[in-house]
Amino acid sequence: MKNLLNEFEDYLLNNLPSLKTFHPFFEDALGDMLKAGGKRFRPMLLLSVIKSNKSLLIKNSMPVALGLEMLHTYSLIHDDLPSMDNADLRRGFETLHKKYDEVTAILVGDALNTEAFNQISNASLSNDVKIELIKCLSSNGGINGMIIGQAIDCYFENQKLELSQLEYLHIHKTAKLIAASLKMGAIISEYDLETQEKLFNFGIDLGLLFQIQDDIIDETQSEEEAGKTTQNDEAKNSFVNLLGLNGAIKAADELSLKCEETLNTLDKKLKLSLEELLLKYINRHK
């Protein structure tokens, strides 16, 4: 799995967006947040599925993995903008609007959003496969996916949500892109529609589990332990505030069990490949 991550990092570094232009820093700004790393979780989900039965297609799928990372990265850049989270740091580096200016942060985000589709459309895969990938990414990363989740997160920042609304928020803001990453791997690997759907639903569970775990970690760990800013804010729409700490832990336990059970229903190679990537996450709240 380490090798797959290294392979992706190499591909990314050798395929950063390039420009012939007299703008003094826009090309650097385009690459900054892509290079800054993170877990590369969405590309790894995609590639882990492909590795399980079509490992010869991994190389040809790298532009798709990069496209996923670009779409995710653009969403982080825009989420950090002054009118949204107004964050100074991201992935340990200055956010783009702090390092350069707000115009640059908006335009780099816009560029990476569009470029995700350019990367996929130019991959050495069949046009039939690429169109399915683009449908999947543009629906789950778009209006009825990530975007409405973020819009709700911002709008209801100071208003209490019900449990079903909080789930809707995180399913859309985070889980759908995770689910799409798995499904896109299944599309490239030519798994049947049933497996595609099963992996998508598994991704929704996984994304929701991660959010509940984050809320638990925010409540129980110091910033040092968690390795990031933790917010034990009682006004925040969190699963801990809605369910209580024990209720949130119980919900996470149930979802992690469900995720493990789903993994057990997958064909053996797919199960092993995904377990190698995911087992360390599935029980991290324990």
Task: Give the binding range for a second copy (CB under 8 A) out of 7-15, 53-61, 88-96, 108-116.
Answer: 108-116
Q: Rule CB under 8 A: which of 157-176 touch a second copy?
A: 165, 168
Residue with smaller CB distance to a second copy, 146 or 206: 146
DSSP 8-state symbol, 123: S
| Torsion angles phi and psi, residue 285, rounded to 5 | -80, -5
Q: What is the dihedral of CA 148, 154, 157, 163, to 10 degrees?
A: 10
CB of 133 to a second copy, least distance (A): 9
CB-wise, 150 or 237, nearer to a second copy?
A: 150
Q: Total number of residues binding a second copy (CB under 8 A)? A: 53
8 Å CB contact between 208 and 201: no
Q: In the window 39-78, what residues touch a second copy (CB under 8 A)?
A: 71, 74-75, 78
- Interface with a second copy includes 103 (CB under 8 A)? yes
Q: Give the span between the Cα atoms of 207 and 285, in whole angstroms.
A: 14
Q: How far apart are CA 111 and CA 164, in angstroms?
A: 34
Rule CB under 8 A: say whether 24 interacts with a second copy. yes
The verdict on 135 binding a second copy (CB under 8 A) reads yes
Q: How remote is the C-alpha of 134 from its chain's centroid?
A: 16
Closest approach of Cβ 284 to a second copy, in Å?
30
Q: Are 32 and 99 in contact (CB under 8 A)?
A: yes
The site string for a second copy over 233-252 (x = CB under 8 A, - otherwise) reads --------------------
Cα–Cα distance, 102 to 96 (Å, whole number) = 7
Cβ proximity of 54 and 99 under 8 Å: no
Q: Which SS3 state, helix, strand or coil, does residue 99 take?
A: helix
Positions touching a second copy (CB under 8 A) are 17, 19-24, 26, 30, 71, 74-75, 78, 81, 83-84, 101-104, 106-107, 109-111, 113-115, 117-118, 121-122, 127-128, 130-131, 134-135, 138-139, 141-144, 147-148, 150-152, 154-155, 165, 168
